[in-house]
């Protein structure tokens, strides 16, 4: 346990209905005794754990009442940090909260560092590493779906799944090990077919989990979408419509957007970073030139491209150049300015694209008008559909880079083990990589010991002379 007591405002900054000051550590109760008066005159330190008690916060120096408040009290080890913890539920308002916090500081607490409550919960063994990391994700998460994924991890769904995989791998290893250490027990007929089937199943489950890592990252870090198009096709207006705010300067002079503009949009709970690129065109203007180069860089980072074409103009060489980018990334096509007389129809565009695309997938074309504000919702839906094909809110997602790395290591190792089985290698070579698989999983949920493997062998086989 830490020797010092920490304090912080636990509610988000701003003028809320209520505000909470949380204090955790060995002197949390004494601090409450100093500054909180219950209606019943009982000292807070004498209160039952997990109770809310009405009372007043006052400054003992001058007896002045700071606020009327509820005191929540949790005794060690039954609190989030496993330490004695009190929470002052005050009326919102920065001034009050500041004053209460100053009082807690005065009576022995220090200001908590960011994430320190969670750090203590982890260091005191209250939550495991996977859970601690989920909390960190939770704090950082920008959108609802991301919060849900982090929350799932927090309640241990990820741990549960990996524990399950760990069990399967440990049993498999025990089977293999038994044939090595007990050759005289007539177990030395390792059924490689069944064994490799089991290993394949483990590999599949790892693949499934790893697949979600992409989605998990998406949820946390968001999706990057680059808006491409020759100058003045309405990229900036499109961005503004998607965001429904005036962010980019919109004029009808080509090349107005000289730099890339990035905005974050909440698309059904997924953060989407929209990047409006400077028009890609040959230019001598050195400043605009920088913008063009930046656009190319954006292109390589993007998860999805939105390629905008002006419906009121015939397709020209600049359009051609841009349309060729279609093969680089998944792309959506926007035929803009459909309110004007049509020079390029979606059939024209489609015909043109059939010559260009190599993927063989029919391109998605959305018709929009920024003037009439049509097609925007359609575009949003298709953007989302393009990236996500499943309902993410119910699945277990890998949102953490360390977990992903550990699972990848396990996946590589089990692939090696399967190779060894197929090559009919001797059992100890198979065991080498099954152990590495277990180590990878163990990095997330704790390690399987040699004794555990031996225990499994003795439980399953009659061994010994």
Contact residues toward other proteins (CB under 8 A) are 1-3, 120, 122-125, 128-129, 177, 180-186, 188, 402, 416, 423, 425-429, 431-433, 435-436, 439, 442-443, 446-447, 449-451, 453-455, 457-458, 462-465
In total, the chain counts a number of residues equal to: 465
Query: Nearest 5°: phi and psi at 65?
Result: -80, 125
CA distance 384 to 381: 5
Q: Which is nearer to other proteins, 396 or 430 (CB)?
A: 430
Shortest distance (Å) from residue 118 CB to other proteins: 13
Q: Where are the beta strands (DSSP E) in 156-314?
A: 223-228, 261-267, 270-276, 304-310
Question: Minimum Å distance from CB 418 to other proteins?
Answer: 14
Strand partners, 340: none
Closest C-alpha among 40, 72, 73, 70 to residue 56: 70
Which residue, 389 or 451, is less far from other proteins as judged by CB? 451
> Residue 20: which H helix or E strand, with range?
strand 18-24
Among candidate residues 31, 53, 49, the one with its CA nearest the CA of residue 41: 53
Instruction: Give the nearest distance from C-beta 217 to other proteins in angstroms.
Output: 18
CB of 154 to other proteins, least distance (A): 16
Least Å distance, CB 163 to other proteins, is 14
- Distance in Å, CB of 184 to other proteins, minimum: 7
Contact call for residues 107 and 39 (beta carbons, < 8 A): no
Closest contact distance (angstroms) between CB of 135 and other proteins is: 14
Joined together, the tokens standing for residue 269 give: 């709970």
Q: Write out the two tokens for 258.
A: 């000289």
Q: Are 209 and 407 spatial neighbours (Cβ–Cβ below 8 Å)?
A: yes
List 61's β-bridge partners, or say none: none
Contact (CB, 8 A) for 326 and 357? yes
- Tell me which residue of 356, 339, 228, 246 sits closest to 294, measured CA to CA: 228
HSE toward the beta carbon, residue 392, CA cutoff 13 A: 29
Nearer to other proteins, 75 or 147 (CB): 75
| For other proteins, the closer CB: 352 or 416 | 416
Q: Are 141 and 49 in contact (CB under 8 A)?
A: no
In the bound complex, what is the minimum distance in angstroms from residue 56's beta carbon to other proteins?
Answer: 34
DSSP class of 357: -
Give Cβ neighbours of residue 144 (< 8 Å, ≥ 6 apart): 269
Give the nearer residue to other proteins in terms of CB position, either 382 or 416. 416
CA distances from 20 to 86, 92, 118, 251 (A): 10, 8, 17, 48
Task: In whole angstroms, give the CA distance from residue 337 to residue 332.
Answer: 16
Q: Are 128 and 159 in contact (CB under 8 A)?
A: yes
> What whole-number distance in Å separates Cα of residue 449 and Cα of residue 456?
11
H or E stretch at 347: helix 346-356
Minimum distance, C-beta of residue 86 to other proteins, in the bound complex (Å): 20
Q: Smallest gap, in angstroms, from Cβ of residue 168 to other proteins?
A: 18
Of residues 59 and 128, the one with the C-beta less far from other proteins: 128
Residue (153 or 257) nearer to other proteins, CB = 153
Residue closer to other proteins, measured from CB, 185 or 262: 185
The residue among 151 and 180 lying less far from other proteins, judged by its C-beta, is 180
Query: Cβ closer to other proteins: 329 or 411?
Result: 411
Minimum gap (Å) between residue 438 Cβ and other proteins:
8
Q: Which is nearer to other proteins, 55 or 440 (CB)?
A: 440
């Amino acid at each position: 346990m830490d020797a010092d007591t920490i304090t912080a405002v636990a509610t988000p900054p701003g003028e809320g209905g209520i505000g909470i000051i949380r204090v955790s550590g060995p002197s949390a109760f004494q601090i409450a005794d100093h500054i909180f008066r219950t209606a019943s005159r009982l000292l807070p330190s004498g209160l039952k754990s997990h109770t809310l008690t009405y009372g007043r916060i006052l400054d003992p120096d001058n007896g002045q009442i700071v606020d009327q408040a509820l005191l929540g009290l949790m005794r060690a080890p039954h609190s989030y940090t496993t330490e004695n913890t009190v929470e002052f539920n005050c009326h919102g308002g920065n001034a009050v909260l500041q004053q209460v916090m100053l009082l807690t500081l005065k009576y022995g607490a220090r200001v908590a560092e960011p994430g320190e409550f969670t750090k203590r919960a982890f260091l005191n063994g209250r939550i495991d590493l996977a859970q601690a990391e989920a909390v960190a994700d939770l704090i950082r998460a920008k959108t609802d779906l991301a919060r849900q994924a982090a929350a799932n991890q927090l309640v241990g769904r990820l741990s549960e799944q990996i524990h399950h995989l760990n069990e399967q791998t440990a049993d498999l290893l025990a089977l293999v090990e038994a044939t090595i250490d007990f050759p005289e027990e007539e177990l030395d007929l390792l059924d490689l077919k069944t064994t490799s089937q089991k290993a394949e199943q483990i590999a599949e489950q790892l693949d499934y989990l790893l697949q979600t890592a992409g989605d998990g990252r998406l949820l946390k870090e968001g999706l990057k979408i680059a808006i491409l198009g020759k100058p003045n096709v309405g990229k900036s207006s499109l961005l503004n419509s998607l965001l429904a705010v005036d962010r980019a300067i919109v004029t009808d002079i080509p090349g107005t957007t000289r730099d890339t503009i990035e905005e974050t949009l909440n698309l059904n709970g997924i953060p989407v970073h929209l990047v409006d690129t400077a028009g890609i065109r040959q230019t001598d203007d050195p400043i605009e030139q920088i913008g063009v180069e930046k656009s190319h860089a954006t292109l390589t980072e993007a998860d999805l491209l939105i390629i905008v074409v002006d419906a009121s103009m015939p397709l020209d060489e600049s359009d051609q150049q841009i349309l060729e980018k279609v093969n680089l990334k998944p792309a959506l096509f926007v035929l803009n300015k459909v309110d004007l007389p049509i020079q390029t129809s979606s059939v024209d565009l489609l015909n043109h694209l059939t010559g260009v695309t190599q993927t063989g997938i029919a391109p998605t074309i959305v018709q929009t008008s920024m003037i009439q504000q049509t097609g925007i919702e359609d575009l949003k839906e298709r953007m989302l559909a393009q990236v996500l094909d499943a309902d993410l809110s119910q699945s277990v997602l890998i949102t953490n880079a360390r977990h992903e790395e550990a699972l990848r290591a396990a996946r590589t190792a089990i692939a090696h083990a399967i190779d060894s089985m197929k090559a009919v290698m001797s059992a100890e070579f198979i065991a080498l990589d099954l152990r590495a698989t277990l180590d990878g999983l163990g990095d997330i949920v704790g390690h399987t010991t040699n004794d555990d493997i031996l225990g499994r062998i003795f439980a399953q086989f009659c061994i010994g002379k």
